[in-house]
Amino acid sequence: MKSSKFKVPQGKKVKLSDYRTDDTGDIESKKDASKLLKANTKKMAELQDRLYAHDRYGLLMVFQAMDAAGKDSTIKHVMSGLNPQGTQVFSFKQPSAEELDHGYLWRIAKAVPERGRIGIFNRSHYEDVLVVRVHDLVKFQKIPDKFDNDGIWKERFNQIKNFETYLYENGIITIKFFLHISKDEQRKRFLRRLDIPSKNWKFSEADLKEREHWEDYQKCYEEAISATSTDYAPWYIIPADKKWFARVVVSNVIIDTLQSLKLMYPELDGNQKRNIHAYREQLMKE
């Protein structure tokens, strides 16, 4: 299955209701999906090894979604076969007092992966045009009055695009995943959290309150995705009602992205290459 099917082309005006949440493509069962994911995991590990050795690019994956869409479990499953040494995960919560004393990209910039690494953002700078917009939290962000006006979201989309351009031109490739679930699927998952004792801890009354803002969030997501999906830092809208399908698609996107970078193992320099024979002899003699 082509991962480009889920990519949002630059300039496209997204309407989320046009995107299916329950698509399972040409995969027939959970069992088939897990086989595909296993094969993909092997490919990702190989590509990660090259990324590390090549040491020119880093990969930044941003995960955004409504509550209970499966960010955590997708991250867990998709990353399970990678070398922990080359990966890092950051989760972004309500900003601290220190973070609020800086621009919203400050904490983000500090968490960007270095070259050779794969970095994952569980939530991200996009919260600053989503939850902050839905709940009118800008007033806590200490923005000078003259910039705190209705135009701020458009400005933030531009700031984010500029930031991601900067990352791109410095070798950090950003890909952004929106795990797309239906409102009814969220309801089912919340109920499961209440019904199953080992899942109770995942339930939070606050999530139920957020659910009341479902339509607002969808609208903010639509605007943010439409404004910031670019050729160099694209958004992917991943049908996520079936977690097993979402995982396969995400892993496909990662593989396609890494393959497009033409990562090569560095070669030995000429002098060392000429001496390979001598080095080997030296070791064999021991």
User: How near is the Cβ of 135 to ligand AMP at its closest, in Å?
Assistant: 8
Contacting positions for ligand AMP (CB under 6 A): 92-95, 123, 127-128, 131-132, 137
Number of neighbours of residue 243 by Cβ within 10 angstroms: 18
Nearest alpha carbon to residue 251 among 92, 114, 46: 46
Task: For residue 186, give the DSSP letter.
Answer: H
User: How near is the Cβ of 35 to ligand AMP at its closest, in Å?
Assistant: 30
Q: Which is nearer to ligand AMP, 200 or 282 (CB)?
A: 200
The position carrying tokens 């399970």 is 80
Give the N- to C-terminal CA distance of the chain in Å, as an integer.
Answer: 52
Overall size of the chain counted in residues:
286
Helix (H) or strand (E) holding 36: helix 30-54
**Position of minimal CB gap to ligand AMP:** 127
User: How near is the Cβ of 31 to ligand AMP at its closest, in Å?
Assistant: 30
Q: What tokens appear for 77 in the block? A: 């499953």
Q: Which is nearer to ligand AMP, 41 or 174 (CB)?
A: 174
User: How near is the Cβ of 42 to ligand AMP at its closest, in Å?
Assistant: 30
Q: Which is nearer to ligand AMP, 7 or 243 (CB)?
A: 243
User: How near is the Cβ of 97 to ligand AMP at its closest, in Å?
Assistant: 13
Nearest alpha carbon to residue 246 among 101, 109, 16, 65: 65
Number of neighbours of residue 230 by Cβ within 10 angstroms: 18
Q: What is the largest CA-CA distance in the chain?
A: 75
Q: Which is nearer to ligand AMP, 54 or 193 (CB)?
A: 193
User: How near is the Cβ of 77 to ligand AMP at its closest, in Å?
Assistant: 18
Q: Which is nearer to ligand AMP, 93 or 146 (CB)?
A: 93
CA distance 258 to 48: 8
Q: Which is nearer to ligand AMP, 107 or 247 (CB)?
A: 107
Q: What tokens appear for 233 in the block? A: 């830092």
